[in-house]
């Protein structure tokens, strides 16, 4: 358990004003009327922070927020008692929508890209991060970079965390992830598709996935967690590789489940779980998240129940 009062510092650049709409049947090219609408603060960083808070971990989120949508998110986070260091932007915070077809179970996301922050806003973020790092127990970076962002931005965050001897966990992919690996992050997470994009190789077969993960490990991604939705997740730690099957459920809304996995893994680290137990806790959180409408919002009691249903399907010492 993290016995200090220092929070986990969650870095999430692209917050979102999120609408989740339910339809009895969604028909493209026609008028569709939602049977239910839920509005929430979202974005990968927000989702991770909310999930950590649900698990009882002290947390502080640092993100860009702008205009009326950004102000709504700031107030919503305050209501949820999630501490937030908000870096103001001239551009409005984006609006995203999730459309759930209750008849087919299909989930469709409509994602508005974040408007790139201005150079001065990036500088403000860097200053805010440096200050927040002094009061952090761990840094958790979640998400990709917005268009026009410095490609080595996450590498600079990792460098600062390493210099301050603060553990650093990153959930990203591609060049932003590569830039952080030289600074020996304490945990790296991506999904199967992102792994293939990051190493520019096929990961269609399990053998190809393992080979791609080993390439990532060789560059500093160790330990590495690779998720694959409701399918098996892969955990690589040194020479050890373990494949784990999340619990089978009837999902309500899977959006944000990957973020909940990240939060559960970090929460396990904070509470002193063994690395293997922390990963299992993460997968239980990801499953619990899929049972709710709001990303990152779940019942910790449900997590505890699901933890026993995370099954190891292929433990190995070598791969």
Tell me the pLDDT tens digit for each residue of 208-235: 999 999 999 999 999 999 999 999 999 9
Give residue-wise pLDDT tens across range 160-215. Answer: 999 999 999 999 999 999 999 999 999 999 999 999 999 999 999 999 999 999 99
pLDDT at 311 over 60: yes
User: DSSP strand E in the chain: where?
Assistant: 8-14, 16-23, 36-42, 59-66, 83-89, 95-101, 107-110, 138-142, 168-171, 187-191, 224-227, 233-237, 240-245, 311-316
**What are 232-245's pLDDT values in tens digits?**
999 999 999 999 99
pLDDT band at residue 147 using 50, 70 and 90 as cut-offs: confident
Q: What percent of the chain has a predicted confidence (pLDDT) above 70?
A: 97
Asked if residue 109 belongs to a domain, the reply is yes
Angle between helices 44-54 and 67-79 (to 10 degrees): 10
Q: Which two tokens stand for residue 117?
A: 């922050």
In a domain, 269, yes or no: yes
| 26 within some domain | yes
Query: What is the pLDDT at residue 1?
Result: 43
CATH of the domain at 74: 3.40.1190.20
What integer is the mean pLDDT of 113-140?
96
> Residue 148's pLDDT is what?
83
Give yes or no for a contact between 136 and 8, defined as CB atoms under 8 angstroms apart.
yes
pLDDT at 315: 57
- Residue 2: inside a domain: no
Per the CB < 8 A criterion, the answer to whether 248 and 283 are in contact is: no
Contacts of 206 (CB under 8 A, 6+ apart): 243
d(CA 17, CA 144): 17
Domain containing 144 equals 8-316
80 Cβ neighbours under 8 A, 6+ residues apart: 41, 50, 53
Sign, CA dihedral 147-153-155-157, equals negative
- Mean pLDDT estimate for the chain: 94
Confidence of residue 319 (pLDDT cuts 50, 70, 90): very low
pLDDT of 318 > 50? The answer is: no
* Assigned domain for 199 exists: yes
pLDDT in tens, 4-30: 689 999 999 999 999 999 999 999 999
Q: Domain for residue 3, yes or no? A: no
Phi, psi angles (nearest 5°) of residue 62: -120, 125
Query: Is the confidence at residue 104, as pLDDT, over 60?
Result: yes
pLDDT in tens, 68-97: 999 999 999 999 999 999 999 999 999 999
Distance CA 22, CA 35 (A): 6
How many domains in the chain?
A: 1
Query: Tens of pLDDT along 266-306?
Result: 999 999 999 999 999 999 999 999 999 999 999 999 999 99
Whether 316 has a pLDDT exceeding 90, the answer reads no
Taking residues 259-263, report their average pLDDT: 98
């Amino acid at each position: 358990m993290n016995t200090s009062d220092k929070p986990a510092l969650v870095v999430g650049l692209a917050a979102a004003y999120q609408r989740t709409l339910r339809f009895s049947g969604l028909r493209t090219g026609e008028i569709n009327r939602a049977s239910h609408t839920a509005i929430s603060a979202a974005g990968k960083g927000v989702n991770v922070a909310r999930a950590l808070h649900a698990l009882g971990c002290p947390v502080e989120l640092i993100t860009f927020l702008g205009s009326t949508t950004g102000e709504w998110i700031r107030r919503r986070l305050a209501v949820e008692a999630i501490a937030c260091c908000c870096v103001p932007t001239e551009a409005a915070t984006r609006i995203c929508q999730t459309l759930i077809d209750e008849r087919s179970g299909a989930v469709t996301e409509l994602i508005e890209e974040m408007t790139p922050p201005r150079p001065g806003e990036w500088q403000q973020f860097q200053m805010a991060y440096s200050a927040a790092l002094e009061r952090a127990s761990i840094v958790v970076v979640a998400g990709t970079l917005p268009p026009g962002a410095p490609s080595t931005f996450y590498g600079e965050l990792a460098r600062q965390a390493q210099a301050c001897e603060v553990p650093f966990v990153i959930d990203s992919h591609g060049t932003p992830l590569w830039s952080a690996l030289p600074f020996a992050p304490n945990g790296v997470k991506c999904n199967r598709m992102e792994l293939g994009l990051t190493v520019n190789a096929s990961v269609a077969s399990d053998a190809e996935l393992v080979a791609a993960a080993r390439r990532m490990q060789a560059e500093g991604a160790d330990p590495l967690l690779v998720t694959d939705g409701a399918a098996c997740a892969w955990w690589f730690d040194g020479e050890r590789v373990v494949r784990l099957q999340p619990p089978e459920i009837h999902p309500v809304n899977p959006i944000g489940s990957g973020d909940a996995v990240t939060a559960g893994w970090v929460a396990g680290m904070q509470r002193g779980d063994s690395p293997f137990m922390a990963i299992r806790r993460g997968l239980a959180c990801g499953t619990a998240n899929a049972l709710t409408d709001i990303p990152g919002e779940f019942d910790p009691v449900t997590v505890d129940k699901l933890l026993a249903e995370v099954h190891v399907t292929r433990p190995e010492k070598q791969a």
